[in-house]
Amino acid sequence: MLIDPFIERGKAFLGCEFPIMCGAMTWVSDPNLVSAMGNAGGFGLLAGGNTPVDILAKEIETTRALSEHPFGVNLITLAPAYGKQLDLVCDLACDVVVFAGGIPRRREITAARESGAKVICFAPTAPLAHKLVEMGTDALVLEGSEAGGHIGPVALSVLVQQILFEVEEVPVFVAGGIATGRMVAHLLMMGAAGVQMGTRFVMAGECKAHPDFKAAFTKARARDAMATPQFDSRLPVIPVRALKNEGSIEFGKLQLELLHQLDHEKTGRVEAQYEVERFWVGALKNAVIDGDIKRGSLMAGQSVGLVHKVQPLQEIIDEIVTDTEKEMQRLHNIFNDFSC
């Protein structure tokens, strides 16, 4: 297959058949979905988020029981339980540890690697990408602002030029706005070791998200997935991309209320930031688990405009791989015509 040399580096790094990762989504990326990804030939990531350590340990063991394939654990460096979660994944000798949400310390990267894990870090800017490589990360993820959930400030098209074209020392995976095999083909040919998708896998039959949550995705257009604003630098919230609904409006009101409390010294910046995160965790649970699509958080990437139906996970993976191969074959034929 034409795809083979382009996926060799990513396959070897992740230890899976196809270097297609399912991003870690709070309340979504549970042992069932993560293990199903491995069984289908891809690579799943458990979402550490704010999960208590004892529950995260059970999720890791459950995932191992459901699949013999490797998987990773995504840790949010700003989460209250982050330190204990890192100790846990090191103690349990997890295959891959992904650091997200902030810049990990050098000693944290070292600790994960010394436990036997491969380390992946998110790189939202070019200087940070080079710093993380110097600090010892084994691979990078470039996530464009087209992605769902908490997002960085730069589009994937720019990150590809700034980082993917410049970093050769480690495998570089790309994410944000990806949903089709044709797009995957072009990213692989540009040098990506593989891709990460989230929104596309919410539509997997194995995903536990509420049917109403998935139905909202099938009706949405790309422009419906909007990033939240930051009203004041005193409350430095990380933008969140989600489908606009009453919950989005409530979040705006929450920011204004917290700024009012800051003005009158009724709260501090750290406490206010935690209050923001508590809002998103609760609102996301309301939507994903309970199906409250009016007031809950419908976190989705702009690729939501490219997903239109619920499919078995194996069917999604097969479709992506088949379409990737078809696109490479199409381009191969074009180049052959030019050479004649």
Say if residue 111's pLDDT is above 70.
Answer: yes
Q: Can you give the pLDDT at residue 166?
A: 94
Residue type, 285: K
Higher model confidence: residue 126 or residue 119?
A: 119
Phi-psi region of 24 (alpha: psi -120 to 50; beta: other; left: phi over 0): beta
pLDDT at 210: 97
> Mean per-residue pLDDT for 195-217?
97
Over range 137-141, report the average pLDDT: 98
Distance in angstroms (rounded) separating the CA atoms of residues 3 and 45: 24
* pLDDT confidence band for 340 (50 / 70 / 90): low
Residue among 24, 14, 322, 40 at smallest CA distance from 205: 40
Mean pLDDT of 127-146: 96
Computed over every residue of the chain, the mean pLDDT equals: 94
Residue 247 in contact with residue 298, Cβ under 8 Å? yes
- Virtual CA dihedral for 73, 76, 80, 84, nearest 10 degrees? 30
Per cent of the chain over pLDDT 90 is 81
**By the 8 A CB rule, do 63 and 56 touch?**
no
Q: Per-residue pLDDT for 16 more than 90?
A: yes
Alpha-carbon distance values, 329 to 188, 205, 324 (Å) = 14, 30, 9
Task: Evaluate the CA torsion angle 280, 80, 44, 131 in order and state its sign.
Answer: positive
Q: Is the pLDDT of residue 339 over 80?
A: no
CATH 3.20.20.70 domain position(s) in the chain? 4-209+306-335
In the chain, how long is the greatest CA-to-CA distance? 74
Quote the DSSP letter at residue 104: P
**Closest by Cα among 304, 121, 296, 52 to 203:** 304
pLDDT tens track for 281-291: 899 999 999 99
φ/ψ region of 177 (left if φ > 0, alpha if ψ in -120 to 50, else beta) reads left
The per-residue pLDDT for 277 is 80
Average pLDDT in the 196-221 region? 97
Question: Is CATH 1.10.260.40 what the domain over 4-209+306-335 is classified as, yes or no?
Answer: no
H-state helical runs in 92-245? 106-114, 126-135, 156-159, 181-189, 199-202, 211-219
